[in-house]
Amino acid sequence: MPDVQPLVSEFVLKLKRRRVLHIIKEEDISSTAVGIEGLSVTAESDDEYDSGNDDHPTLSAAVLAAHARNALRAPSLQTLLEDIPVSTVLSRSASSAGDSDGKSGDKSSKSRKLKHDVIAAIGDLIDEIDTCYDQISEQAVEHIHQNEVILTLGRSRTVKEFLYAAKEKKRSFRVFVAEGAPRYKGHVLAKELVEKGVQTTVITDSAVFAMISRVNMVIVGAHAIMANGGVIAPVGMNMVALAAQRHAVPFVVVAGSHKLCPLYPHNPEVLLNELKSPSDLLDFGEFSSCMNFSTQDGTPLLNVVNPTFDYVPPKLVSLFITDTGGHSPSYMYRLIAEYYSADDLVVRRKSTSS
């Protein structure tokens, strides 16, 4: 698929950072602390070494500074996966300064297995992303029927492919696209649907309640699916879900299994939102005079808040359609349990004996 490579790269990067680097760096930092702890500084030259002190080798300030730089420098993924401990790096530096007793550690079977597992996990993730759109789209004809009216918000590639598949199966239907202000991704989706011959109507986000009574189904994408069945989605989605519930319209979320998240919304490590630039909403040139005024305590009179995401609680979701089939919100925690083990949920610092 032409657009899958950027998405693959993004998720592979997240996998490396979150599941691999974080865990291994914790062990790496512990090794660094242990390695530097036993070193002492001397004013002698780098070539001199006190062989009588076997327990606490004495290094010059220059060599110790080099060791500190190596410790602070973020290790590469290759170094971490090959399980080259920091103590080995320190031994190599000391060896170049006159310490002939430094030895490089061999790769352990555990580190080789870790490297193999990481590469296999990355390969599985790439395959999953490559195939999830097709697997989800195959279910389109089961949910989109003749002459139905569908509403969506913004632009989701999964939703687009889902609607494409229904159109290719000769389904005749109309789509209402809420524009998704202030980024207006809905305009892009509307153009793509029209190019495929789908009858499309663009509406403002504020018109969702006015138009929802004409709609048979709401189909949207998701940024993430939480363990309780809640959805983190583009801003404005909660309003659409409330309108659908008020008028008894099914609210369907289509998303690949790679968007399943084992955390709950109340977990402190979950950031439900991020703020985008105020320039998406206001022209600084036109409103600069308003922003210059301030109250007596120095706070501005005009504030601009531009959130990116909404949280949709599970009670507002009718159905999840993933690459493994359709699921109710109450079933998502079991599906997530099949993808994550308990070790994936909590990263514990490795305890070191004093």
Residue 153 confidence (pLDDT) above 90: yes
**Residue count (the chain):** 354
Residue pair 94/59 in contact by the 8 Å Cβ criterion: yes
The CATH number assigned to the domain holding 267 equals 3.40.50.10470
Q: 231-234 and 40-42 as β-strands: parallel, antiparallel, unpaired?
A: unpaired
Report in angstroms the alpha-carbon separations of 192 from 150, 155, 240, 283.
16, 10, 22, 29
User: Are residues 242 and 282 both part of a single domain?
Assistant: no
User: Are residues 213 and 337 both part of a single domain?
Assistant: yes
DSSP secondary structure string for all residues of 264-289: -TT-TT-----B--GGGT--HHHHHH
User: Are residues 244 and 283 both part of a single domain?
Assistant: no
| 19, part of any domain | no
The string of pLDDT tens digits covering residues 218-271 is 999 999 999 999 999 999 999 999 999 999 999 999 999 889 988 888 876 676
User: Are residues 215 and 289 both part of a single domain?
Assistant: no
Least confident interval from 51-60, 144-153, 254-263, 309-318 = 51-60
- Better-predicted residue by pLDDT, 253 or 123: 253
| 74, part of any domain | no
- Better-predicted residue by pLDDT, 151 or 31: 151
Report in angstroms the alpha-carbon separations of 326 from 18, 112, 220, 335.
28, 38, 14, 11
| 98, part of any domain | no
Residue 15 pLDDT level (bands cut at 50, 70, 90): low
| 4, part of any domain | no
| 128, part of any domain | yes
Residue 53: predicted pLDDT: 46
User: Are residues 149 and 127 both part of a single domain?
Assistant: yes
Q: Which of 143, 144, 154 is nearest to 177 (CA)?
A: 154
Give, as one character, the DSSP assignment of residue 18.
Answer: I
Residue 271: predicted pLDDT: 65
| 138, part of any domain | yes
Say how many domains are in the chain: 2
User: Are residues 264 and 149 both part of a single domain?
Assistant: yes
Residue pair 254/219 in contact by the 8 Å Cβ criterion: yes
Residue 141: predicted pLDDT: 94
- Better-predicted residue by pLDDT, 14 or 305: 305
* β strands within the chain, DSSP E: 40-42, 58-60, 148-153, 173-178, 199-203, 217-220, 224-225, 231-234, 251-254, 309-312, 319-322, 325-327
Q: Sign of torsion, CA 38 44 47 50?
A: negative
| 35, part of any domain | no
For residue 81, the SS3 value is helix
C-alpha radius of gyration, the chain, whole number = 28
The string of pLDDT tens digits covering residues 170-217 is 999 999 999 999 999 999 999 999 999 999 999 999 999 999 999 999
User: Are residues 289 and 143 both part of a single domain?
Assistant: no
User: Are residues 230 and 299 both part of a single domain?
Assistant: no
Domain that holds residue 302: 277-306
Residue 80: predicted pLDDT: 52
The string of pLDDT tens digits covering residues 79-115 is 555 554 444 444 454 455 444 444 445 556 777 788 8
The string of pLDDT tens digits covering residues 263-276 is 888 876 676 688 88
Q: Token digits for 133? A: 């759109």
User: Are residues 198 and 314 both part of a single domain?
Assistant: yes
| 18, part of any domain | no
User: Are residues 241 and 331 both part of a single domain?
Assistant: yes
Burial class (CB in 10 A: 0-12, 13-18, 19+), 164: middle
Residue pair 141/206 in contact by the 8 Å Cβ criterion: no
User: Are residues 282 and 186 both part of a single domain?
Assistant: no
CA angle centred on 147, ends 143 and 153, rounded to 5°: 65
**The model's pTM:** 0.65
User: Are residues 176 and 242 both part of a single domain?
Assistant: yes
